[in-house]
Chain A
């Protein structure tokens, strides 16, 4: 589903060029649950941004669902993001003057869907994520866990094939964090491809496939459960 071939991405930090991605090759199957771990500045977020079409590689090829993404222009990439990719951020990134419901609705609004078509979709997701009572509240009236649930609802309202989560539990206590991870895994069980970038080994370990990044390269790529590894 995701195929990266020799993808490079270099930033300039002051005068220093920083290789955030250094000839990265990666294949991810549809429906996979992948975690990406590694120290700060290892290129995890850049990898996520390239896969999420927010960032463009300097060289190399990127295919999403069998379609070439490297040659798309900015407006086409925006359309792809809207249709195929959901984002969950550490800082939630909810718009604080809009209610939970309106935040969830945003991708549909941007896509130009009619209000009558939007309503059942939003009702459905709000119901599924147990946000019904909170749907009319503003983000600041919600707890951290609830805010992240709203953000997840927004990420999946368009039923994307790919869900990208960048430190989704970073701002949450362990209890809310566990709930959020469980929700993400539940969505993964329903067929969505899930990619989680995290610092937390307890969370990283839960994924079916675990990548480790250092200095812009993938240095470890393990599959199977942790216990399975131990047995091997």
Chain B
């Protein structure tokens, strides 16, 4: 039989039972839409989160005091030395190091005139903005100094708006934790990262922040490095240098690479998991195909007998019914993708921030999945049809 003739025969069979065909196609469509929608949203979410994390750039190593491991004799040996400004400075001469940013973070009241706002306060140096890829909207960022710094402050976009509104800000004096600071810059809006508002921050020089929060050590040192060295080698060099100074490894290094790959793995797993939940509805759709094909074979038993009498081989009968299941599933797959497109459109309107882009690869994969579902669902009824005895089949009315 010619493929085109087979398709025509199958198409006529499906079109002769429109409602039944439509409902079966709908079942598969819902399944395919659920699977592809959930995986697309999952992949979008993954992209969104990774984007959020990698906005600081990917060539960055974070050093935090303390070591997360279980020690021997508890307490006695776990004397963690704080990370000092001198530790940070000692990393600067290392090859490939681009910027070194010591960081402490706290919270406090910011006053301007009679307005008071409690915000996060970050102590850093003049390289912080460049290292974190934050942009300055007005004025300049903290100056790069050696030794004691002047009482300068840079405001996040939101702090500026809340305290000053539209009035001029640069050169004004504010109080941070009771001390007088002059505003020398305003940051460009950065948005939120995982719920943390990056615009609701005031930046002050690190030495003043340490004094303000009454801390002896830094909370973090961020080191960015130039291209040409891999993350692990860079981390090893930093570790060697700090062990030289501290005697033991009482700090923790986190490379962006490491963090991103861990996150990527977790989110990828999550995407697969929610995709599998969508798969349940696809399974239900597949059962729909099996049901309809079993009924069809029963109803068309006499027809199968006739076709056999006219010289149809078992193989041809098998292919005709398998083709019917396949066509149902592929039609369902196409409708499902259409349905998904609609829902993605709605979702894009509802949550514009989520980067959802259905890739052609996944669309083809979804169709392929539908086809496989059709084949698997159709195999048993088609096999039954092909195995019918023509004499018995012809007697069926």
Contact = CB atoms under 8 A, between A and B. Distances in A.
B16 A54 contact: no
A110 B316 contact: yes
B310 A87 contact: yes
B303 interface: yes
Contact of A97 (B12, B310, B311, B391): B12
A205 to B, nearest CB: 27
A93 B302 contact: yes
Interface in A47-90: 49, 52, 54-55, 74-75, 78-83, 87, 89
B13 to A, nearest CB: 7
A111 interface: yes
Contacts of B306: 89, 93, 95
B390 interface: yes
A165 to B, nearest CB: 12
Contacts of B180: none
A125 to B, nearest CB: 15
Interface string A116-146: 0000000000000000000000000000000
A112 B314 contact: no
Nearest to B15: A97
B231 to A, nearest CB: 63
Given A55-B391, A109-B5, A97 B308 contact: no
Interface residues of B, number: 26
List 5 A-B pairs, minimum CB-CB distance, nearest first.
A82-B311, A97-B16, A93-B306, A78-B313, A81-B311
A26 interface: no
Interface residues of A, number: 28
A114 B4 CA distance: 10
Contact of A74 (B2, B16, B314, B397): B314
A107 interface: yes
B113 to A, nearest CB: 85
A74 B391 CA distance: 13
Given A54-B391, A111-B311, A95 B303 contact: yes
Contacts of B15: 97
B1 interface: yes
Given A55-B391, A95-B306, A110 B311 contact: yes
B312 interface: yes
Contacts of B133: none
A106 B12 contact: no
A91 interface: yes
Contacts of B314: 74-75, 78
A154 interface: yes
B397 A91 contact: yes
Interface string A198-216: 0000000000000000000
Interface string B358-397: 0000000000000000000000000000000011001001
A37 B187 CA distance: 104
Contact of B308 (A78, A91, A112): A78
Contact of B312 (A55, A80, A110): A110
A154 B303 CA distance: 14
Name the residue in B309, B314, B390 with the highest tally of chain A Cβ atoms < 10 Å from its Cβ.
B309
B256 to A, nearest CB: 63
A55 B391 CA distance: 7
Given A97-B16, A110-B1, A154 B310 contact: yes
Interface in B1-34: 1-2, 5, 9, 12-13, 15-16
Contact of B394 (A82, A89, A107, A110): A89
Interface of B is mostly: helix
Contact of A52 (B303, B309, B312, B316): B309
Contacts, number: 69
Given A87-B310, A95-B306, 14 more contacts: A55-B391, A81-B311, A82-B310, A82-B311, A83-B311, A93-B303, A97-B13, A97-B15, A107-B311, A109-B5, A109-B9, A110-B307, A110-B310, A112-B1
Q: Name A's interface SS.
A: helix
A98 interface: yes
A54 B390 contact: yes
A98 B303 CA distance: 12
B315 interface: yes
A85 to B, nearest CB: 8
Nearest to B303: A95
A87 B397 contact: no
A52 B394 CA distance: 13
With most chain A CB atoms within 10 A of its CB, the pick from B303, B312, B315, B397 is B312
B315 A75 contact: yes
A79 B313 contact: yes
B161 to A, nearest CB: 71
Contacts of A89: 306, 394
Contacts of A81: 308-311
A77 B260 CA distance: 65
Most buried by A among B1, B311, B312, B391: B311
A77 to B, nearest CB: 9
Nearest to A158: B311
Interface string B291-309: 0000000000011011111
Contacts of B302: 91, 93
With most chain A CB atoms within 10 A of its CB, the pick from B1, B310, B394 is B310
A14 to B, nearest CB: 15
